[in-house]
Amino acid sequence: MAGIVAAMAAWAVSELAAAVLDTSAPLISVGDATVDLSPSWLKDAAIAMFGVYDKIALLVGMTAVLLLIAAVIGLVAMRRRVVGMLAVAGLGVLGVLSVLTRRNDDALAVAPVLAATITGVVVLMLMVGVRRRDRRDPPVPDSTPADGESTPVGSASRRGFLVTGASVAAASAVTGSLGLFLGRGGSAEEARAAMRLPDPDFPLPPLPDGVDFGVRGLAPFTTPNSDFYRIDTALTVPRVSPDDWSLRIDGMVDNPIDLDYDALLRLPLVEADITMTCVSNEIGGDLVGNTRWLGVRLGDLLREAGVHSDADQILSTSTDGWTCGTPAEVVLDGRDAILAIAMDGEALPFRHGFPVRMVTPGIYGYVGSTKWLDRITLTRFDQEEAYWAQRGWAVRAPIKTMSRIDVPGPLENVPSGTTTIAGVAWAQQRGVDAVEISVDDGEWTEVELAEVPGIDTWTQWRTETNLTPGRHSVRVRATDGTGTTQTEERVDPIPDGASGWHTVQVVAE
Ligand SMILES: Nc1nc2c(c(=O)[nH]1)N[C@H]1C(S)=C(S)[C@@H](COP(=O)(O)O)O[C@H]1N2
Ligand SMILES: [Mo]
C-alpha cells in the first residue's frame, strides 16, 4: 500500500506539472516510448487482439505493471529504506530517458518526471515513517494480551498508516484529476469550435450527382468525418491551438520559410477530392476513406522555398514526434498535394490532424499525410529515414489498384434471383476505368461505374446478378486508367501494400 500510494501521488503531481507547464504527461511519454520500442510482432498482436482499443489496452496494462512495481518497491522500502528510495530514483531515470527520446525538442517535459520522482520518494518515506511509528508505539489494546511481543498486528496499530495512506490517495485523486482537466487542451478545443472556415480561393464544382448510388451497405462516396478511419502512433490525440501552431520549412532549400496559421490562411486555398488509404489495409478492408479537403498547395510553398535539385525527400514531423518521408518529386509533379485545414466542410477533427495536416494523393498515408504537422525538412533518402521506413516499410509506396465488395457483406444471406452486388474501387492518380466481377469463378463481366470528380477518388460500382439458391463466391477486380488490371497475386500489406482480388461468399436462399 505504501508503494501504491506513493505511485498515485507521483502520477498526480506529474499530471498537474505537465498541465501547468503545458508539456506532455510522463505516463503518455512512457507509453509512447513503449510503443516505439516494442517489436512489430507485438504491436501487430496487440492490434489483432484489441483492435481500436489497443491504446486503451496499453495504458491499462502499463498502469497495472507500474502499480505492481510500486507495490514491490513499497514492500522493500519497509525493510530497507535506502533500497526503496534508490528504486524510485531508478524509475525516475528511466522516465527521464523515455521522455527525452520522445520530446527531445522540449526540455521542459523532463520537469514533471523530476517532480513525480521527488514526490514518490517523499511519500514513500512518509509512509515508511508512519508505519514504523505505528509499530513502535502501538496503542494499548484493552481486549488483547498486554504482552508486547505477542500483540497481533491488528487494525488499531495500523491506524496512522491507513489514515495517512487514504489521505494521500484522496489528495492524489483530486490533484491528478485537476491536472487531467487542465491539460485537456481546452484552448485548442475552444479555438476549433470558434473557427469560421475561410472560403476557398479555388473552389471545386459541387460533386457530380451520380457519385453515389445510394445502395444500402455500400460505402458512401463521401466518408463522414465521424466514420473516417484513424491510424496513427499517438497515444493521446495532440490538441494544438491554431494560435500556437507554426510551420518551418527548412533543410535543403534556398529560403527557409516560417509560417503561422494566419499566414497559411492568407495563401491561396484550394479544394481537392482525395481518397486516403492506409498501407496496412487488407484486401476487403476499410482503412480507406474519401472526402473533399481544403488547404494550400504544398508544391507552391516548396517552389517558393527553392528546393535544391539533389533533395529527394520531404521529411515531415508531427507535434508528437512522428516522422514521414515523402518523395519530393511526387509533391512537385503538379498533383493536389496539400497542407489541409479542413475536410468535408469542417475544420479538421483533432483525430485527423487539427490544425494542419498533409494530404498527398496517390501514395499511402504513412508516406504523405502527416497529421498535426509541425515541420518540413528537405533532405535525402540516403541521409534520413522516417518512422515506418525504419521499421521495414517501403520508402516509395504508390497506392495499388484495389477493389472491394461491400454488398452483400461476407456470408450474408441474399434472396435468390436478381441480387445487387456493389462496392468501391480505387487507383488514385490513375483513375478507375473498369470494374469486373466473376461469380463462382465464371466469366468476368463489367459492372456499372458511378461518376467521379477526378482521378484521386474511389469509384462506386454496382451490378445486378442472378444467383441460384445455394452458396456462391463473388470476386472483383478493377482496371486503372492506364489499362492495367489489378493483380491477382496476393501479397501482405508489408512492405508496400496488399494486393489480390477481394472475394466474398454469399448464400442465396
Ligand atoms: N502525426 C502522424 N500522422 C500520421 C500518422 C501518424 O502515426 N502520426 N499515420 C499516418 C498513416 S499510417 C495514415 S494511413 C494516415 C491516416 O490518417 P487518418 O487517421 O486521418 O485517416 O495518417 C498518417 N499520418
Ligand atoms: Mo497507414
Instruction: Give, using CA atoms, the residue closest to atom 8 of ligand 1.
Output: 232
Instruction: Give, using CA atoms, the residue closest to atom 19 of ligand 1.
Output: 230
Using the mean position of ligand 2's atoms as its centre, give its distance from the Cα of residue 223 in Å: 17
Using the mean position of ligand 2's atoms as its centre, give its distance from the Cα of residue 364 in Å: 6
Instruction: Give, using CA atoms, the residue closest to atom 18 of ligand 1.
Output: 230
What value does the CA radius of gyration of the chain take, rounded to a whole number of Å? 29
Using the mean position of ligand 1's atoms as its centre, give its distance from the Cα of residue 369 in Å: 6
For the chain, what is the mean pLDDT?
A: 91
The average pLDDT across 191-198 equals 88
The DSSP 8-state label assigned to residue 253 in this structure reads B
Q: How confident is the model at residue 44 (pLDDT cuts 50, 70, 90)?
A: confident
First-to-last alpha carbon distance for the chain, in angstroms, is 63
Res 298 pLDDT > 70: yes
Query: Who's near 401: CB < 8 A, 6+ residues apart?
Result: 425, 426, 427, 430, 432, 478, 479, 480, 484, 485, 486
The average pLDDT across 235-263 equals 94
Determine contact, residues 79/128, Cβ cutoff 8 Å.
Answer: no
Give the ligand whose atoms come closest to the C-alpha of residue 36: 1
User: Measuring from each residue's beta carbon to the nearest atom of ligand 1, which residues come in under 6 Å?
Assistant: 228-234, 276, 278, 318, 322, 352, 365-366, 369-372
pLDDT of residue 486: 98
The average pLDDT across 214-223 equals 97
Q: What would the grid cell of residue 197 be? A: 472556415
Q: Where are the alpha helices (DSSP H) in 210-285?
A: 261-266
Q: What would the grid cell of residue 321 be? A: 514526434
Using the mean position of ligand 1's atoms as its centre, give its distance from the Cα of residue 230 in Å: 7
Which amino acid does the sequence have at 379? T
Q: What would the grid cell of residue 13 be? A: 503531481
Compute CA distances 19 → 12, 99, 209, 370, 475, whole Å. 11, 15, 49, 25, 53
The average pLDDT across 393-413 equals 94
Nearest to 296 by CA among 350, 355, 239: 355
Per DSSP bridges, beta strands 373-379 and 246-251 are: parallel
Neighbours of 294 (CB within 10 A): 25
The mean-pLDDT minimum among 71-80, 251-260, 261-270 falls in 71-80
pLDDT higher for 54 or 431? 431
Nearest to 481 by CA among 401, 423, 399: 401
> Which pTM was predicted?
0.77
pLDDT of residue 159: 83
Compute CA distances 404 → 109, 349, 461, whole Å. 45, 27, 10
